[in-house]
Amino acid sequence: MFFRVLFDALALGAYAFARGCFRDHGLTPGKLGLAAPGRVFTVCNGVFLFRAYEATPISLPTVVPRTQPFFLVLLRVRRRRPAPPRSGR
């Protein structure tokens, strides 16, 4: 897994460099510092996923990460609905 991610990062970096994406990128040390927790959480997510493969049947940790975005969208849609009118008690 590590080498797959490393190869993907190198290939994507080479492609972005060839396309000129690194000129005038606007990244500052502050913005990179804000992105650092996201990188840490991504690594933790991978570690927890492989630990889940050891602790549960393989179907559960395979399905849950793929369905979670749908549940988040449904929760957001539910929050956007107006509240039902209250009775005048």
Asked if 61 and 53 count as a contact pair (C-beta separation under 8 A), the reply is yes
pLDDT value for 15? 93
Is 65 a residue whose pLDDT tops 80?
Answer: no
pLDDT band at 70 (very low <50, low <70, confident <90, very high): confident
DSSP 56: S
Angstrom CA distances, 18 to 4, 14, 33, 87, stand at 21, 6, 26, 63
Instruction: Write down the pLDDT at residue 58.
Output: 81
Whether this prediction's pTM lies above 0.85 is answered by no
